[in-house]
Amino acid sequence: VEASIPEPQREAWKRSQTSAFKSSDEFEKEVVRHVETSLARSMFNCDEKAAYSATSLAFRDHLILDWNKTQQRQTYRDSKRVYYLSLEFLMGRALDNAMLNVGLKDTAKAGLADLGFRIEDIIGQEHDAALGNGGLGRLAACFLDSLASLDFPAWGYGLRYRYGIFKQEIIDGYQVEVPDYWLDFNPWEFPRHDVTVDVQFFGSVKKVPNEQGKSVAVWEGGEIVVAVAYDVPIPGYDTPTTNNLRLWSSKASGGEFDFQKFNSGDYESSVAEQQRAETISNVLYPNDNLERGKELRLKQQYFWVAASLYDIVRRFKKSKRAWREFPEQVAIQLNDTHPTLAIVELQRILIDIEGLDWDLAWEIVTGTFGYTNHTVLPEALEKWPVGLVQHLLPRHLQIIYDINLFFLQSVEKQFPDDRDILTRVSIIEESQPKMVRMAHLAIVGSHKVNGVAELHSDLIKTTIFKDFVEIYGPDRFTNVTNGITPRRWLHQANPRLSELIASKLGSHEFLKDLSQLNKLELLVQDKEFKKEWAEIKFANKVRLAKYIKETTGVNVNPSALFDVQVKRIHEYKRQQLNIFGVIHRYLTLKAMTPAERKKQLPRVSIFGGKAAPGYWMAKQIIHLINAVGSVVNNDEDIGDLLKVIFLEDYNVSKAEIICPASDISEHISTAGTEASGTSNMKFVLNGGLIIGTCDGANIEITREVGENNIFLFGNLAEDVEDLRHAHTYGSHTIDPDLAKVFEEIQKGTFGSVHDFSAMIAAVKDHGDYYLVSDDFHSYIETHTLVDEAYRNQEEWVVKSITAVARMGFFSSDRCIYEYADGIWNVEPLPRRD
């Protein structure tokens, strides 16, 4: 049925067209209308939650109008689109971001005040959209912001988890996980009950002759789960471009439940089927940098990939173009290997459903996909048992075998005398059981593979993917160093700093062209400017100190040096190194006379982050941090000289309070293990300095800000292998200062000797895989340098300003231009209305 309104009636439509609010009066009208109609309340029962809901609905309406126009224009112009496939989008709160991006925050502030509310309280009502674990998911969110802000026609595709990452509670010093049910009322999503896709699982494959007598595969039987689209508008900053994030939710194909079964008395099984279907999009797997190979996870991956590709192909087919033009219209980026089945699914659609021959189909597939790798940790590289894939996706396994066959044949031709290379690069690992190596499939099926920081991109070329560089040549591999959106991570999180910068640079243009920050360097000797800079940092520390008091009950002195490490808890990120260092500092202070102590610099060590629920060692690290805190924070000899804080439930909205308030932040992974890191960039952009290893993006941050404005320590990536080897096969002596720390823990100073013994044994007896002892001395010395530098506040502020001025490179806008140019071959499509 043609849904378009006929020409004669369009005038009436145009007369009645909705327009977005512009003034605070119009905004207030919208809020009151939503309170009274959408929420069915009145001024007599409008609490902050209701005011938040109504404000969000008003802004959502605003975004939807822009969203409609953006989509119409993109369709009309038929321009190439980018599809960013990510199993995680760690969006955080939407309201503040929407207000700032459409430029109406002041309007809303005035309107809300008029109606009796403080805008901060209203913003604070929002539940974070936490559909991600950490770095990978937040990067996807920053990329969506940049894509929209730079006017690229782009969609994100993900899963609409009913439960995002769990909420962390700390009870008696231990992490306890609580489910994060966030969908009670979510004004930012737009259910599209008319946009559904049937997704097939299980069943079998038979070969039947087609009309030309050619044998084609038919996948039949099994079960169908329905994917329902939920759209989330993504507003660009200072542009009407509003892109779309489409999240799929699963439901049973028989509607609510199977009425036939229900009526025949089989109530239980009819409900069970419904529940099995809904389970697929129920919960985000809470592992960061770890893949555990669960069947439900593979189901999630295929469900999401199949629905997304069906949608993308449907959109392409509307343009009536020839299939070979597909890669000229569509670029699909795989955020790590999680969506790798998309490669197989597109090949399946093209050969089984659209009837293309294999070679043309494969050319289209490889022309379409790009793959981003986010880790070299072996435990995070995805592999699926062949038997599981066979059972769940029988036709896909056949196609994977065919892809592998053609690939290995060409490798054999290229390296006729090398049998081993075939075993090493095969998509199928010949183990017991046999496994499908998703990274190999992703490389073979993409035209570009990228790492996320220079060191990381070099490492993948020389270690895990070395053979593929031999096979495809170095040009298949590239680097796009990560970045962050300055809109959320400067303008939104640190409004005072953003306004100070704007006042000095003469406009807010730097928020869209971050390289303009370099003009701040001219001001590093401006006394008044430095004073304001320092005042803003202090105010942000006061705000964090207040938050610490409210949430932990501990008083911290905002004049102390704030030393922050917030990120997922992981042995490779080495929070254990940090807490051992804190214990060392505590012992040093304890050994001093009161007179000596008076001369020391007060410090607050702040930690935050979640441990995967099944990661026992990470949970012990959290426990040790809390145990040290309860001893140190109550030691009268120590007072303000040292406080140890663990902030519960670290997430995006908390990061927005924490990042602007650091003096020093810690990015201290064992060299070669952190692919990039992105919070390092957030802290420096907010005027904090960092202490870090030569790892991930720390190296490029050093190159940009200069060695004088960063504190580097520790062994280099190139030496890690030899050191590990020496630990295992040579004599392994522990750093003497670290040994003293261990003795103190084992004395029971922090309680639970038994709990902490495994952490100590990992260093002393099990080869110290993360080089905690090797780096300890250098770490402690570097902290002494930090203290000394901090004593000279004049100089410190100069370092802080200089570092910020040189951070332009780390905008996610720069990343998007690099992807657009080097991988996607897409152009922006600006709107001028």
Supply the minimum distance, in Å, between the C-beta of residue 271 and ligand OAK: 34
List all residues 6 or more positions away from 659 whose beta carbon is below 8 Å from its beta carbon. 489, 493, 494, 679, 682, 683, 686, 688
- The answer to the question of residue 229 lying near ligand OAK (CB under 6 A) is no
Q: How far apart are CA 681 and CA 538, in angstroms?
A: 20
Give residue number: closest CB to ligand OAK.
135
Do 771 and 715 contact (CB within 8 A), yes or no? yes
Supply the minimum distance, in Å, between the C-beta of residue 731 and ligand OAK: 33
Per CB under 6 A, the list member of 51, 136, 331, 627 interacting with ligand OAK is 136
Stretch that binds ligand OAK, among 192-200, 390-398, 488-496, 673-681 (CB under 6 A): 673-681
Do 713 and 775 contact (CB within 8 A), yes or no? yes
Supply the minimum distance, in Å, between the C-beta of residue 234 and ligand OAK: 19
- The answer to the question of residue 814 lying near ligand OAK (CB under 6 A) is no
Do 184 and 117 contact (CB within 8 A), yes or no? no
Q: How far apart are CA 208 and CA 825, in angstroms?
A: 39
Per CB under 6 A, the list member of 51, 112, 139, 520 interacting with ligand OAK is 139
Q: Are strands 154-159 and 642-647 parallel, antiparallel or unpaired?
A: unpaired
Record the tokens describing residue 277, joined without a space: 């279907």
- The answer to the question of residue 671 lying near ligand OAK (CB under 6 A) is no
- The shares of helix, strand and coil residues in the chain, as percent rounded to the nearest 5, are 55, 15, 30
Do 625 and 581 contact (CB within 8 A), yes or no? no
**Centroid of chain to Cα 61:** 27
In which residue are the tokens 């609490």 written?
47
Supply the minimum distance, in Å, between the C-beta of residue 289 and ligand OAK: 5
Residue 724 burial (C-beta neighbours within 10 Å; 0-12, 13-18, 19+): middle
Stretch that binds ligand OAK, among 75-83, 322-330, 658-666, 675-683 (CB under 6 A): 675-683
Record the tokens describing residue 407, joined without a space: 């690939």
Q: What is the largest CA-CA distance in the chain?
A: 95
Per CB under 6 A, the list member of 111, 164, 677, 687 interacting with ligand OAK is 677
Supply the minimum distance, in Å, between the C-beta of residue 489 and ligand OAK: 14
**Centroid of chain to Cα 695:** 19
Residue 116: half-sphere exposure toward Cβ, Cα within 13 Å: 9
- The answer to the question of residue 514 lying near ligand OAK (CB under 6 A) is no
Which residues are 249's β-sheet partners? Answer: 228
* Closer to ligand OAK by Cβ: residue 375 or 494: 375
* Closer to ligand OAK by Cβ: residue 463 or 784: 463
Q: From start to end of 567-619, where are the E strands?
A: 603-608
Among 226, 125, 227, smallest CA distance to 185 is for 125
Supply the minimum distance, in Å, between the C-beta of residue 825 and ligand OAK: 22
In which residue are the tokens 């009066």 written?
25
Query: At 233, which helix (H) or strand (E)?
Result: strand 223-235
Count the site residues for ligand OAK by CB under 6 A.
Answer: 18
Q: Residues 362 to 391: which contact ligand OAK by CB under 6 A?
A: 374-375, 380
* Closer to ligand OAK by Cβ: residue 135 or 153: 135
Supply the minimum distance, in Å, between the C-beta of residue 382 and ligand OAK: 8
Stretch that binds ligand OAK, among 133-141, 202-210, 509-517, 682-690 (CB under 6 A): 133-141
* Closer to ligand OAK by Cβ: residue 165 or 380: 380
Record the tokens describing residue 752, joined without a space: 């639970």
Per CB under 6 A, the list member of 151, 189, 674, 775 interacting with ligand OAK is 674
Supply the minimum distance, in Å, between the C-beta of residue 391 and ligand OAK: 24
- The answer to the question of residue 284 lying near ligand OAK (CB under 6 A) is no
Supply the minimum distance, in Å, between the C-beta of residue 312 and ligand OAK: 23
- The answer to the question of residue 678 lying near ligand OAK (CB under 6 A) is yes
- The answer to the question of residue 690 lying near ligand OAK (CB under 6 A) is no
Which residues are 372's β-sheet partners? Answer: 335, 450
Per CB under 6 A, the list member of 27, 63, 66, 134 interacting with ligand OAK is 134
Sketch the per residue contact string, 392 through 421, with ligand OAK: x for CB under 6 A, - otherwise. Answer: ------------------------------
Show which residues are catalytic: 374, 567-568, 573, 678, 682
- The answer to the question of residue 692 lying near ligand OAK (CB under 6 A) is no
Supply the minimum distance, in Å, between the C-beta of residue 481 and ligand OAK: 10
Sketch the per residue contact string, 325 through 344, with ligand OAK: x for CB under 6 A, - otherwise. Answer: -----------x--------
Q: How far apart are CA 310 and CA 312, in angstroms?
A: 6
Q: Is 601 helix (H, G, I), strand (E, B) or coil?
A: coil
Q: How far apart are CA 681 and CA 565, in angstroms?
A: 13
Per CB under 6 A, the list member of 186, 289, 347, 620 interacting with ligand OAK is 289
Stretch that binds ligand OAK, among 593-601, 671-679, 708-716, 726-734 (CB under 6 A): 671-679
Tell me the DSSP string of 520-553.
GGGGTT-HHHHHHHHHHHHHHHHHHHHHHHHHH-
Q: Residues 571 to 630: which contact ligand OAK by CB under 6 A?
A: none
Per CB under 6 A, the list member of 135, 156, 558, 609 interacting with ligand OAK is 135
Supply the minimum distance, in Å, between the C-beta of residue 288 and ligand OAK: 5
Supply the minimum distance, in Å, between the C-beta of residue 451 and ligand OAK: 9
Do 810 and 484 contact (CB within 8 A), yes or no? yes
Query: At 70, which helix (H) or strand (E)?
Result: helix 48-77
- The answer to the question of residue 288 lying near ligand OAK (CB under 6 A) is yes
Stretch that binds ligand OAK, among 129-137, 172-180, 308-316, 468-476 (CB under 6 A): 129-137
Which residues are 606's β-sheet partners? Answer: 564, 645
Neighbours of 518 (CB within 10 A): 14
* Closer to ligand OAK by Cβ: residue 135 or 629: 135
Stretch that binds ligand OAK, among 78-86, 203-211, 676-684, 756-764 (CB under 6 A): 676-684
Stretch that binds ligand OAK, among 70-78, 104-112, 414-422, 668-676 (CB under 6 A): 668-676
Residue 179: half-sphere exposure toward Cβ, Cα within 13 Å: 8
Pseudo-torsion of CA 693, 696, 700, 706, nearest 10°? -10
List all residues 6 or more positions away from 308 whose beta carbon is below 8 Å from its beta carbon. 83, 85, 157, 246, 248, 339, 342
Q: Residues 694 to 713: which contact ligand OAK by CB under 6 A?
A: 696
* Closer to ligand OAK by Cβ: residue 235 or 714: 714
Gap between the terminal Cα atoms of the chain: 31
- The answer to the question of residue 482 lying near ligand OAK (CB under 6 A) is yes
Q: Which residues bind ligand OAK (CB under 6 A)?
A: 134-136, 139, 288-289, 336, 374-375, 380, 452, 482, 674-678, 696
